[in-house]
Structure 1
């Protein structure tokens, strides 16, 4: 089942979220077991359809999972670029530097301010990567989209790590207060 077809959306990265939500509610109203007065479909099948509708909705509403799904339906099984060692080394070097940056921020006395700035910069970088990803998907250059998604995946992990550190700083401050 193609989630884009299920929700009557074009198979592209940038989607109409209002249409997604509208069609989600229409489908749930039609297939959700609690909404069925006349039993046209068995309760088990209703539940299975409802679960697929929820899974599709959750996949398409999030940029990251939507990008991953687009790659999947374009038959790209590997999320790492194939036979491109130079590209992978370049990305790994960038990743290492970002990890080092978090370690440097941890040592600073005003680390809360620095970690906030760092997270904001990463989120801007993420927006740029999504823009590049969208362009490559439109151009049907799936291998390049794959490479960009690899970068997106890593930036997500770094943001999560930085936000965990930020949350720890907040908790430590609350404990001291």
Structure 2
């Protein structure tokens, strides 16, 4: 099932998120399992399956990175299950350096450095998002897949840094 079709949206990285949310809510109301409680078992199971697809589709489309991954999957690139490795050694070395920097910030408990670090990686993430948006629009699937892999590195790094920030705020 194509999630863009499910939500009656064009297959595009750039989406009207409010339209997606409205269509999601309308479909959820229509196919909520409670609406089928008195129906035969086959219809109840079908409604349950459809509700699960609606939820899965919404999760795939509501945020940019999963949306890019989903679009790529429609074109034969399964980022989640593939064995393709990153061959951009310069990027990988930069990632190692960023991880080492984050470890140093953590050891020093330097909140100001952490804020600057988050600002820097957020900016790099935004730049890569612009790149992947253009690549997907131009149907440059392989290049977009490589950019999505890079975005995943930045997302994980940002998650780690944000978790560290939250940890420090709890003190």
The alignment's TM-score, normalised by the length of structure 2, stands at: 0.88
Contact preservation (8 Å) 1:7, 1:24: yes
Structure 1 segments (4+ residues) deviating >6 Å: 79-84
Give the number of the structure whose alpha-carbon radius of gyration is greater: 1
Contact preservation (8 Å) 1:30, 1:36: no
State which drifts further: 121-130 or 28-37. Answer: 28-37
1:65 corresponds to: 66
Provide the aligned length of Structure 1 versus Structure 2.
Answer: 169
Instruction: Check 1:168–1:38 CA distance in 2 against 1; reply closer, same or farther (3 A cut).
Output: closer
Deviation at residue 81 of structure 1 after TM alignment: 9.9
1:101 corresponds to: 101
Gaps of 5+ in 2: none
1:26 is paired with a residue of what secondary structure? helix
Deviation at residue 61 of structure 1 after TM alignment: 0.6
Gaps of 5+ in 1: none
State which drifts further: 33-42 or 15-24. Answer: 33-42
Q: In 1, distance between residues paired with 2:116 and 2:60? A: 29
2:55 corresponds to: 54
1:120 corresponds to: 119
Q: In 2, distance between residues paired with 1:53 and 1:98? A: 38
Instruction: Provide the aligned C-alpha RMSD in A.
Output: 2.4
The alignment's TM-score, normalised by the length of structure 1, stands at: 0.85
Contact preservation (8 Å) 1:136, 1:144: yes
Instruction: Check 1:42–1:83 CA distance in 2 against 1; reply closer, same or farther (3 A cut).
Output: closer
Q: In 2, distance between residues paired with 1:144 and 1:71? A: 11
State which drifts further: 28-37 or 4-13. Answer: 28-37
Deviation at residue 7 of structure 1 after TM alignment: 0.4
